[in-house]
């Protein structure tokens, strides 16, 4: 199967900073063993999940073009997803949380195209195509859930992260890569696990992205729906895990009514979850999401929002009461006795926007060395600058081309030549340009004429603060390079031989059944690959040979850690023989 990317309007709309994470799905990378892993998990899941999953799951498998028999191609998925208003892209393992959320806001599913190894068939901490393709994709066929996912992306993309979040992301990514790679020394994996555990146990103030990641985990990944006594599964982590989809239904796993409290419940990605949250329906998920959004800086603004941006050390944006948006790396603020922000400052490239569009002439080329501005009301004047009409401005000597000096209530003074002003759509001043300008606070000079023109932002207060740029075109954001790359498995000669045997059985099943050839393969497996359990199961499915069945029974004794998987496979074969497919 050649690598193809189905054109889809949603993919073409993606901004460059998201497109940088997309990689072509190399379908040829999937080995016959990979295909067998997919088939086993999907057959087992569909059989079991038909009883415990939300009703939209099985419908969604069909609607999204996901086959039980083979790993889905992105080409096929996009062709069918387009019909329900979504798209899908392949990526390399974990991507940064804000980017992941933003993809969802554009109604694009992010699918890690790698697939778990046979040893990790029940669960892997790494995102893979089983988790993403067979877990996330089918549920979006439910309109209520699809809208929740889109809205979650919009809210999550604005969440402010911290330096700790960045460290945690890289540590989890590294651990997931090492666990799925072949031949990694145990001590290296243990060291990566300790690093994740240390970061998880580190006492830090929860950031917005960490809280919304919790909500994502307890809904999109591990959510249940219905009533506490008899909930149904809809979370992708449960839908894609043979082990956890069974474990979660046990009484030992506490079921809790879903609420905003889930945002403050941390999780351990390396272990089964001791409790799960149950939402009465998908519409209620949006209610809780909006309740959480009301606590975020994107809606509350103020000094707390700016403080979060300063501490994040990431690109962020504040919006003033006039609608002017300042995007950059914030480094400083001055507050008055009421904790109101009376001055802010960025460092490095900064851009000004209005309604998410860069203000002409105020991109990073003008504000290369940061941006700074006082905020608030003028001393002795009840009227804020933004609310002054033309007569008010004349009364207070705000004339274009005239020198002016004024003082804010905070004590910050501005003295310079007023060149021009820029208004918003309501006619309010939102930006004033000065030349030969000096800005002081107490004995400190905040801006001097040698620094060039002074552009003063106009606004009484900060009404919003959020992660990222107001206008993503203002910055070159195509620069993501993770320090951890997924490790491609290199097959040994023995593994190549085993894959060849899997291929023979796969082709045998898909074409004309040849029992004698299947039994020939069985002899080779028995003699040269005696630890493998999945291929003998596939051979028994084709032949129903008593010899193969006895071998599988002996294998359960010899390898007790896979005995339950063999039993699951035998049960599926028994059900199929009673109710053969049409």
Looking at the structure, tell me whether residues 325 and 375 fall in a common domain: yes
Residue 213 has pLDDT above 80, yes or no: yes
Other CB atoms within 10 Å distance of the CB of residue 146: 20
Looking at the structure, tell me whether residues 133 and 49 fall in a common domain: yes
Does some domain include residue 185? Answer: no
pLDDT of amino acid 486:
55
Does some domain include residue 196? Answer: no
Looking at the structure, tell me whether residues 398 and 520 fall in a common domain: no
Name every residue whose Cβ is closer than 8 Å to that of residue 235 and which is 6 or more positions away in sequence.
135, 218, 219, 220, 221, 222, 223, 224
Number of domains in the chain: 3
Residue span of the structural domain in which 395 resides: 301-474
Separation between Cα atoms, residue 368 and residue 327, nearest integer Å: 12
Residue 368 has pLDDT above 50, yes or no: yes
Residue 85 has pLDDT above 60, yes or no: yes
Average pLDDT, the chain: 89
Average pLDDT over residues 538-553: 96
pLDDT class for 125, splitting at 50, 70, 90? Answer: low
Looking at the structure, tell me whether residues 20 and 117 fall in a common domain: yes
pLDDT of amino acid 3:
45
Looking at the structure, tell me whether residues 237 and 333 fall in a common domain: no
- CATH code (residue 39): 1.10.800.10
Looking at the structure, tell me whether residues 400 and 256 fall in a common domain: no
Residue 582 has pLDDT above 50, yes or no: no
pLDDT of amino acid 7:
60
pLDDT tens-digit readout, 296-335: 999 999 999 999 999 999 999 999 999 999 999 999 999 9
pLDDT of amino acid 2:
44
Q: Kindly report the CA angle at 220 between 53 and 253, in degrees rounded to 5?
A: 60
Looking at the structure, tell me whether residues 356 and 443 fall in a common domain: yes
Average pLDDT over residues 158-181: 79
Looking at the structure, tell me whether residues 403 and 448 fall in a common domain: yes
Does some domain include residue 191? Answer: no
Strand partners, 90: 111
Tell me, what DSSP letter sits at residue 416? E
Q: How close are the terminal C-alpha atoms of the chain, in Å?
A: 27
What stretch of H or E contains 168?
helix 163-180
Does some domain include residue 483? Answer: no
pLDDT tens-digit readout, 264-274: 998 877 677 89
Given the DSSP bridges, would you call strands 357-358 and 341-354 parallel, antiparallel or unpaired?
Answer: antiparallel
What percent of the chain has a predicted confidence (pLDDT) above 90? Answer: 57
What are the helix (H) ranges across 205-337?
Answer: 208-216, 236-239, 242-247, 282-293, 297-300, 302-312
Other CB atoms within 10 Å distance of the CB of residue 449: 14
What stretch of H or E contains 152?
helix 143-157
Average pLDDT over residues 256-284: 91
Task: Copy the structure tokens of residue 4.
Answer: 């193809």
Does some domain include residue 171? Answer: no
pLDDT class for 133, splitting at 50, 70, 90? Answer: confident
Does some domain include residue 481? Answer: no
pLDDT of amino acid 578:
62
Does some domain include residue 486? Answer: no
Strand partners, 403: 417
Task: Copy the structure tokens of residue 471.
Answer: 């206008």
- Say whether 430 sits in a helix, a strand or coil: strand
Separation between Cα atoms, residue 124 and residue 111, nearest integer Å: 15
Are 377 and 408 in contact by the 8 Å Cβ rule? The answer is yes
Task: Copy the structure tokens of residue 277.
Answer: 């949250």
Does some domain include residue 452? Answer: yes
- Number of helices and strands (H, E) in the chain? 23, 17
pTM for this model (two decimals): 0.83
Are 394 and 363 in contact by the 8 Å Cβ rule? The answer is no
- Say whether 207 sits in a helix, a strand or coil: coil
pLDDT of amino acid 488:
61
pLDDT of amino acid 132:
80
Looking at the structure, tell me whether residues 425 and 514 fall in a common domain: no
What percent of the chain has a predicted confidence (pLDDT) above 70? Answer: 95
Which DSSP string do the residues of 231-262 spell out, in sequence order? EEE--HHHHT-HHHHHHTTSTTSEEEE--GGG
Looking at the structure, tell me whether residues 357 and 467 fall in a common domain: yes
Other CB atoms within 10 Å distance of the CB of residue 341: 25
Looking at the structure, tell me whether residues 151 and 247 fall in a common domain: yes
pLDDT tens-digit readout, 483-518: 445 556 678 899 999 999 999 999 999 887 889 999
Q: What sign for the dihedral angle of Cα 27, 28, 31, 35?
A: positive
pLDDT tens-digit readout, 458-468: 999 999 999 99
pLDDT of amino acid 267:
86
Last residue of a domain, one of 406, 439, 474: 474
- CATH code (residue 414): 2.30.30.100
pLDDT of amino acid 448:
96
Last residue of a domain, one of 271, 290, 309: 290
Looking at the structure, tell me whether residues 286 and 316 fall in a common domain: no
Average pLDDT over residues 548-570: 95
């Amino acid at each position: 199967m050649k690598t193809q990317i189905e054109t889809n309007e949603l993919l073409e709309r993606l901004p460059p900073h998201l497109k940088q994470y997309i990689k072509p799905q190399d379908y040829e990378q999937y080995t016959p063993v990979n295909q067998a892993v997919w088939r086993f998990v999907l057959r087992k899941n569909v059989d079991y999940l038909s009883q415990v999953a939300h009703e939209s799951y099985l419908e969604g498998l069909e609607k999204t073009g996901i086959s039980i028999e083979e790993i889905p191609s992105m080409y096929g998925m996009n062709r069918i997803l387009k019909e329900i208003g979504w798209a899908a892209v392949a990526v390399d393992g974990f991507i940064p949380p804000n980017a992941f959320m933003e993809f969802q806001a554009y109604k694009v599913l992010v699918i890690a195209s790698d697939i778990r190894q046979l040893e990790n068939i029940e669960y892997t901490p790494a995102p893979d195509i089983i988790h993403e393709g067979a877990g996330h994709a089918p549920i979006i066929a439910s309109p209520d859930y699809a809208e929740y996912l889109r809205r979650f992306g919009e809210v999550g993309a604005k969440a402010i992260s911290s330096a700790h979040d960045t460290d945690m992301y890289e540590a989890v990514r590294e651990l997931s890569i090492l666990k799925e790679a072949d031949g990694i020394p145990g001590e290296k994996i243990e060291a990566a696990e300790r690093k994740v555990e240390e970061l998880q146990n580190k006492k830090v103030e929860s950031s917005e992205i960490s809280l919304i990641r919790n909500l994502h985990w307890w809904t999109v990944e591990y959510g249940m729906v219905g009533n506490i006594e008899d909930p149904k599964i809809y979370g992708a982590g449960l839908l894609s895990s043979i082990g956890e989809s069974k474990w979660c239904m046990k009484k030992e796993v506490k079921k809790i009514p879903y609420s905003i409290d889930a945002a403050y419940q941390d999780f351990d990605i390396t272990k089964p979850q001791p409790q799960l949250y149950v939402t009465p329906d998908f519409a209620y998920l949006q209610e809780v999401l909006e309740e959480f959004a009301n606590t975020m800086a994107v809606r509350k603004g103020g000094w707390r929002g700016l403080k979060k941006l300063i501490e994040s050390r990431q690109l962020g944006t504040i919006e003033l009461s006039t609608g002017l948006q300042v995007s950059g790396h914030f480094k400083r603020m001055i507050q008055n006795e009421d904790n109101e922000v009376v001055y802010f400052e960025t460092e490095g490239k900064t851009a000004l926007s209005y309604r998410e569009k860069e203000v002409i002439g105020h991109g990073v080329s003008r504000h290369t060395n940061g941006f700074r501005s006082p905020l608030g009301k003028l001393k002795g004047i009840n009227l804020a600058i933004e609310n002054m009409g033309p007569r008010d401005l004349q009364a207070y000597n705000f004339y274009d081309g005239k020198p002016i000096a004024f003082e804010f209530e905070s004590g910050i003074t501005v003295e310079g030549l007023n060149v021009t002003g820029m208004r918003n759509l309501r006619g309010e001043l939102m930006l004033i340009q000065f030349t030969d300008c000096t800005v002081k606070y107490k004995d400190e000079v905040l801006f001097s004429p040698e620094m060039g023109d002074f552009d003063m932002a106009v606004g009484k207060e900060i009404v919003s603060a959020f992660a990222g740029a107001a206008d993503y075109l203002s910055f070159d954001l195509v620069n993501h390079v993770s320090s951890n790359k997924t490790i491609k498995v290199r097959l040994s000669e023995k593994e190549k031989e085993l894959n060849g045997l899997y291929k023979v059985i796969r082709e045998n099943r898909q074409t004309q059944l040849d029992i004698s050839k299947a039994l020939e393969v069985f002899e080779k497996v028995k003699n040269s690959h005696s630890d493998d359990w999945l291929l003998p199961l596939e051979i028994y499915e084709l032949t129903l040979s008593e010899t193969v069945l006895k071998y599988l029974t002996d294998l359960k004794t010899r390898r007790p850690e896979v005995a339950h998987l063999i039993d699951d496979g035998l049960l599926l074969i028994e059900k199929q023989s009673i109710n053969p497919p049409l």
